[in-house]
Structure 1
Amino acid sequence: MTGWFRSRWAEEDTWFYVEADAEGWVTRQVELQGLLERPIAAASLMEWEAAQQAGTLADYEATFGGTAEVLVHEWDPHDPQELTVGEFEDVWLTARSACQAGARARSARGA
């Protein structure tokens, strides 16, 4: 069964929002950084794998970042707090929009 949680890593001043499958693989991950919780990642494992196969992984990671590439229990989330699917989806959609807007802004600047 899929599960959703968030975990704050104080040393990185980052909230990690995670969707994990029944085996514990991270299928989607959002990272929000700083006091303003600026989205710095909103990645999907399925999209990441497709980008890797298509040879566009660098572009994907520049826009959306990546997901943890280990099982959740191997990276020891700090004090995980369970979320509902709705809570995760709200953060996911907002972060995805922000990541896409950031990529468009970088593209317009020629970065």
Structure 2
Amino acid sequence: MPGVEKHIWFYFEVGAEGWVTRQVELQGSERTPIAAASLDEWQQAHDAGRLYEYDRRFGITAELPLSEWEGHKPEQLTSEEFEEVWGPARRQIASQPN
């Protein structure tokens, strides 16, 4: 589901219970990737004591389930549409020096 706020586009993959499982943030008219975070990876980084490094590089996912958000009108995306945003954003962020 994409949304725009202050020239930032948000794309979310949402699990069955409404929690964001992956999130991409693209900034500006160039839609430059600034975050591409996975809840599973975030949890693994947390458990391994590497949370700071993960957050700094990939960002975090939303902390509330989608059902608790107010004032947002999300657009539905297919899995394929989300992957078309996720893949390039993730590769670009991962390739940047720490």
State the TM-score bracket (shorter-chain normalisation). Answer: over 0.9
TM-score with structure 2 length normalisation? 0.93
1:6 equivalenced with 2:11 (yes/no): no
Return 44-53 or 78-87, whichever deviates more: 78-87
> What pairs up with 1:1-111 in 2 under 5 angstroms?
5-9=1-5, 12-76=6-70, 78-102=72-96, 104=97, 107=98
CA-CA distance at 1:22 after TM superposition = 1.1
Larger Rg computed on CA atoms? 1
Which secondary structure state, in structure 1, belongs to the residue aligned with residue 23 of structure 2? strand
Please list every run of 5 or more consecutive structure 1 residues that lacks an aligned counterpart in the other structure. none
CA-CA distance at 1:8 after TM superposition = 1.5
State, as a whole percentage, how many aligned pairs show the same letter: 50
Contact 1:20 1:26 (8 Å CA) reproduced: yes
Q: Deviations over 1:12-58 (max 9, x none)?
A: 21110000111100000000011111100000000000000100011
CA-CA distance at 1:74 after TM superposition = 1.7
Amino acid at match of 1:40: I
Find the aligned partners of 1:67 and 1:51 in 2 and give their Cα distance: 13
Q: Deviations over 1:32-90 (max 9, x none)?
A: 01111110000000000000010001111111000001111223363211111011001
State the 4+ residue runs in structure 1 displaced beyond 3 angstroms: none
Return 43-52 or 78-87, whichever deviates more: 78-87
TM-score with structure 1 length normalisation? 0.83
Which secondary structure state, in structure 2, belongs to the residue aligned with residue 97 of structure 1? helix
